[in-house]
A and B are shown apart, each in its own frame.
Chain A
Amino acid sequence: MIKDMLKLFFINKKAFAGLIILSLFILMALFAPMIAPYGPKQNENDGEKFPLMASPSSEHILGTTNAGYDLYSQLIYGSRVTLFVGILTGLITTFISLSVGLFSGYLRGTVDDVISFVNNVFLVIPSLPLVIVIASYIPMRGVLPIILVLALTGWAWGSRVVRAQVLTIGEREFIKVAEVMGEKTVIIVFREILPNIISLVMAIFFTSTIAAIIGEATLEFIGLGNISTVTWGTMLFWAQNNAALLLDAWWWFLPPGLFIGILGTSFALMNFAIDEISNPKIRKR
């Protein structure tokens, strides 16, 4: 079942394209020191100061900031935290969605009622404003609060979808058989139900990772991140705060946003592929 899924996933053109793009970004993050010509916060080389606000040239492919940092190097180093936060948040969100959805859907009864209720409340509370409110209260500016805040406010959608799916699967014969045979709940949930919703889990992971990447960029852009780390979001923050736009410094704000979008697209492509594979109605036609 899972094997078939993965096989279909790898021969799907969209999934393949998405996977390639993502791998390129991951490689970029891993080998940043080797690819980038300078450090992310290096403003001189061999005692020679970099020009400030320079437009792209052969020395600085994407120009420099008003502090003289090389933007091409920042862009490459920026992929590290951006990817890390995006993927980790995606994983945590998926984990929360999955655990809540699985147990709520499988256990039913009062447990389910209570969880569903909380779930519904979280669904209608607008998450970005909530994230901004929470982030503005937290004095610590950094990666960890961003991950936590995004994950804790982003799980509701996923867990509702998982729950609905588990409710349907719970009705199926093989679950009933396992119950009659006296299997433990945990075993049924993980061994019998989980493999059947694996495509859904992947879809939730992709969706929440996109949301996390954009959410991170957003928080950092309005100054709620740690502005001394270099990420694509903080690059946009500095660009905006130094009026890069009005100084016609397109090399400052264009590339980071473009990279965020392309990274998001890679996850969107894989998500789309999952949908094509797992939804027989789309596949058939």
Chain B
Amino acid sequence: MGDIILKLQNLEAGYIIKQGDIKAVDNVNFELKRGEFLGIAGESGCGKSTLAYTIMGLLEDNGRIFNGEILYQDKDLTSMTENELKAIRWQNISMVFQSAMNALNPVMKIGNQLIDTILSHKKDFTKRDAINKSKEMLKLVDITEDRMNAFPHQLSGGMKQRVMIAMAMILEPDIIIMDEPTTALDVVVQRTIIDKISDLRKQFNFSVIFITHDLSLLVEISDKLIIMYSGQIIESGLANKVYNNPLHPYTKGLMNSFPSLTGKLQDFGGIPGKPPNFLKLPGGCRFHTRCPMKQDICSKVAPPLQQINNDHTARCHFVKKGN
């Protein structure tokens, strides 16, 4: 692992809507090293996608960065102009989007969609160079070069997603953000895609921020894990530590193994209830409305993100006692 390449400091971002401001990313801090694989997990609506779009500088018109910094190689992305951002986006930080099905323009050959990416950034490339580069990238994700002329609908879901990975890698960025890249795919294809990402990362030494609602995907492949709930980081640490010793009740819930309070063994099908509405956040700990270990203090005092040991933090009143 190398130097720190991306650092988020007190990042607060979200959307301004009629009913008020939504802070979908609330005071998020983390560091990403070169070549590191960071997994971010949480239910839909926990702000993880907003986090990805914020880092990319792709928030919608009503999106705002309220506070904080995004430092890419010590340069703050939040204070950059759109043109400065354009130079970094995709060139240095690229992204694989949630739904492979819709991420490719249906009326354009995939080759052309790879080529236009290169040509809009590399001014010294000829069309010929761009074609060769595109073929080379496709080969890396196990797609034969004759598929350059295929239209997106002629490819399977897994192939489309591999094309998207090739597209994200084509400018050889330092960081690739992957927002639920495997959600729409079946389990076997998921596996091959994740293995592919893992291989390529070792080969090219880029960093990955992998966002998913499915914690089990992250466990083997991640170096570090972050669990988000309602816009906040509620647990983070080295992947094996978080996995082997989850501290926050929510993390345990995500792993489908809530400890029973009454002592009887019983399975929880995930976590009952829904994540809170950002416009009506509960007081105290944001998770207390759904927490099986809820005490009086939980609805009154918001717990801070506490350092439990070197590589492990959690946001819960009871982690010390429980640990």
Binding site for B on A (CB under 8 A): 284-285
Return B170 CB to nearest CB of chain A, in Å. Answer: 29
Return B19 CB to nearest CB of chain A, in Å. Answer: 12
Return A1 CB to nearest CB of chain B, in Å. Answer: 18
Q: Is B186 an interface residue (CB 8 A)?
A: no
Q: Cβ of B61: which chain A residues have Cβ within 8 Å of it?
A: 285
**How far does the alpha carbon of A274 sit from the alpha carbon of B61 in the complex, in Å?**
22
Binding site for A on B (CB under 8 A): 60-61
Return B14 CB to nearest CB of chain A, in Å. Answer: 14
Q: Cβ of A285: which chain B residues have Cβ within 8 Å of it?
A: 60-61
**How far does the alpha carbon of A284 sit from the alpha carbon of B60 in the complex, in Å?**
9
Return A221 CB to nearest CB of chain B, in Å. Answer: 43
Report, nearest first, the 3 A-B pairs whose CB atoms are least far apart: A285-B61, A285-B60, A284-B60
**How far does the alpha carbon of A285 sit from the alpha carbon of B60 in the complex, in Å?**
8
Return B61 CB to nearest CB of chain A, in Å. Answer: 7
Return the chain B residue nearest A11 by Cβ: B18
Return A10 CB to nearest CB of chain B, in Å. Answer: 15
Return A279 CB to nearest CB of chain B, in Å. Answer: 16
Q: Cβ of B60: which chain A residues have Cβ within 8 Å of it?
A: 284-285
Return A62 CB to nearest CB of chain B, in Å. Answer: 44
Residue pairs across A and B with Cβ atoms less than 8 A apart, 3 shown, are: A284-B60, A285-B60, A285-B61
**How far does the alpha carbon of A284 sit from the alpha carbon of B61 in the complex, in Å?**
9
Return A8 CB to nearest CB of chain B, in Å. Answer: 11
Q: Cβ of A284: which chain B residues have Cβ within 8 Å of it?
A: 60
Return B289 CB to nearest CB of chain A, in Å. Answer: 23
Return the chain A residue nearest B61 by Cβ: A285
Return A4 CB to nearest CB of chain B, in Å. Answer: 13
**How far does the alpha carbon of A284 sit from the alpha carbon of B18 in the complex, in Å?**
11
Return B215 CB to nearest CB of chain A, in Å. Answer: 24
Return the chain A residue nearest B15 by Cβ: A284
**How far does the alpha carbon of A285 sit from the alpha carbon of B61 in the complex, in Å?**
7
Return A114 CB to nearest CB of chain B, in Å. Answer: 30
Return B128 CB to nearest CB of chain A, in Å. Answer: 39
Return B102 CB to nearest CB of chain A, in Å. Answer: 12
Return B55 CB to nearest CB of chain A, in Å. Answer: 21
Return B95 CB to nearest CB of chain A, in Å. Answer: 20
Return A47 CB to nearest CB of chain B, in Å. Answer: 63
Return A242 CB to nearest CB of chain B, in Å. Answer: 54
Return B67 CB to nearest CB of chain A, in Å. Answer: 24
Return the chain A residue nearest B17 by Cβ: A284
Return A7 CB to nearest CB of chain B, in Å. Answer: 13
Return B200 CB to nearest CB of chain A, in Å. Answer: 34
**How far does the alpha carbon of A121 sit from the alpha carbon of B61 in the complex, in Å?**
44
Return B153 CB to nearest CB of chain A, in Å. Answer: 19
**How far does the alpha carbon of A199 sit from the alpha carbon of B104 in the complex, in Å?**
31
**How far does the alpha carbon of A258 sit from the alpha carbon of B61 in the complex, in Å?**
39
Return B304 CB to nearest CB of chain A, in Å. Answer: 34
**How far does the alpha carbon of A114 sit from the alpha carbon of B53 in the complex, in Å?**
48
**How far does the alpha carbon of A21 sit from the alpha carbon of B60 in the complex, in Å?**
35
Return B60 CB to nearest CB of chain A, in Å. Answer: 7
Return B275 CB to nearest CB of chain A, in Å. Answer: 19
Return the chain B residue nearest A284 by Cβ: B60
Return B276 CB to nearest CB of chain A, in Å. Answer: 20
Return B33 CB to nearest CB of chain A, in Å. Answer: 36
Return A73 CB to nearest CB of chain B, in Å. Answer: 46
Return A12 CB to nearest CB of chain B, in Å. Answer: 12
**How far does the alpha carbon of A285 sit from the alpha carbon of B59 in the complex, in Å?**
11
**How far does the alpha carbon of A126 sit from the alpha carbon of B321 in the complex, in Å?**
77
**How far does the alpha carbon of A285 sit from the alpha carbon of B15 in the complex, in Å?**
12
Return A82 CB to nearest CB of chain B, in Å. Answer: 37
**How far does the alpha carbon of A284 sit from the alpha carbon of B16 in the complex, in Å?**
11
Return B253 CB to nearest CB of chain A, in Å. Answer: 23
Return B17 CB to nearest CB of chain A, in Å. Answer: 9
Return B53 CB to nearest CB of chain A, in Å. Answer: 13
Return B98 CB to nearest CB of chain A, in Å. Answer: 16
